[in-house]
């Protein structure tokens, strides 16, 4: 049923897109139709695949590093009052800075290669993962903690056997958000400075007035993001014991 609904929504979006093209009469270099974009995608499939692999690598590395860093930070915040006093305000402050403002700085420090894009992906997903997991750790059901106190469990045992398992659904929510945000961070980094990747390909196509290729690259990025979100969603449902 879910796949049927997705197929119906996709067909409706394509029909709506084609209707807008026909009704407005916009030229192809302004708004190409679905068939034109599909033709451009097929004609440039090798180039798109090459750039997709680059962006996918940036996103996956950034997602793994950002998630791991977020988990470690959340545990430190939950177990240390000093960490909450010193680190939590800094986390909030980093979210007040526009991501676009940080991208040129990271490119200047790390160059135009892979790691500046990975750093952008890490920065954009770090806070959602940290915030969601930390919130879950701090909302452990009181009954569990009272039972642990009655059993005279140590702080480390309470953390790893009670608080962390109880917070896994919250971590799962954070990871699902991260799967959506990570491609955004990587593409922003590619827009600022890159020689490969889907973001670079979109800028290149735009500069050469190849709007159909730009749309093809953008839709490829969208499909990749949806697949990544579905994969992370399935993995986190198992992790959190959801059905």
CATH number of the structural domain spanning residue 142: 1.10.3720.10
Structural domains counted in the chain: 2
Q: Domain range for residue 11?
A: 1-29
Contacts of 11 (CB under 8 A, 6+ apart): none
Q: Are residues 4 and 76 in the same domain?
A: no
Contacts of 86 (CB under 8 A, 6+ apart): none
Q: Are residues 67 and 180 in the same domain?
A: yes
Q: Are residues 63 and 139 in the same domain?
A: yes
> pTM of the full predicted structure?
0.87
Total length of the chain: 243
**pLDDT by position in tens, the chain (length 243):** 456 777 788 888 888 988 988 888 888 888 899 999 999 999 999 999 999 999 999 999 999 999 999 999 999 999 888 888 888 888 877 777 777 788 888 888 888 888 999 999 998 999 899 999 999 999 988 887 777 777 777 888 888 888 899 999 999 999 999 999 999 989 999 988 888 999 999 999 988 889 999 999 999 999 999 999 999 998 988 876 655
Rounded to the nearest angstrom, the gap between the alpha carbon of residue 105 and the centroid of all alpha carbons in its chain is 21
Contacts of 170 (CB under 8 A, 6+ apart): 132, 133, 135, 136, 137, 139
């Amino acid at each position: 049923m879910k796949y049927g609904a997705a197929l119906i929504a996709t067909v409706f979006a394509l029909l709506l897109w084609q209707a807008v093209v026909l009704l407005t009469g916009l030229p192809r270099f302004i708004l190409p139709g679905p068939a034109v974009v599909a033709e451009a995608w097929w004609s440039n499939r090798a180039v798109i695949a090459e750039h997709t692999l680059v962006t996918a690598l940036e996103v996956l590395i950034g997602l793994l590093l950002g998630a791991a860093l977020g988990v470690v930070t959340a545990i430190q915040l939950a177990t240390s009052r000093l960490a909450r006093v010193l680190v939590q305000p800094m986390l909030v402050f980093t979210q007040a800075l526009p991501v676009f403002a940080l991208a040129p700085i990271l490119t200047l420090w790390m160059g135009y290669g892979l790691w500046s894009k990975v750093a952008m992906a890490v920065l954009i997903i770090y806070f959602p993962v940290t915030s969601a997991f930390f919130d879950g750790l701090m909302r452990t059901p009181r009954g569990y903690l009272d039972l642990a106190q009655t059993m005279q469990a140590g702080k480390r045992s309470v953390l790893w056997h009670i608080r962390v398992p109880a917070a896994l659904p919250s971590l799962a929510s954070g990871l699902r958000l991260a799967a959506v945000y990570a491609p955004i961070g990587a593409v922003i980094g590619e827009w600022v400075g890159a020689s490969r990747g889907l973001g670079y390909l979109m800028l290149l196509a735009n500069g050469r007035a190849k709007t159909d290729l730009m749309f093809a690259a953008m839709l490829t990025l969208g499909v990749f993001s949806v697949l990544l979100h579905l994969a992370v969603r399935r993995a986190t449902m198992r992790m959190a014991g959801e059905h």
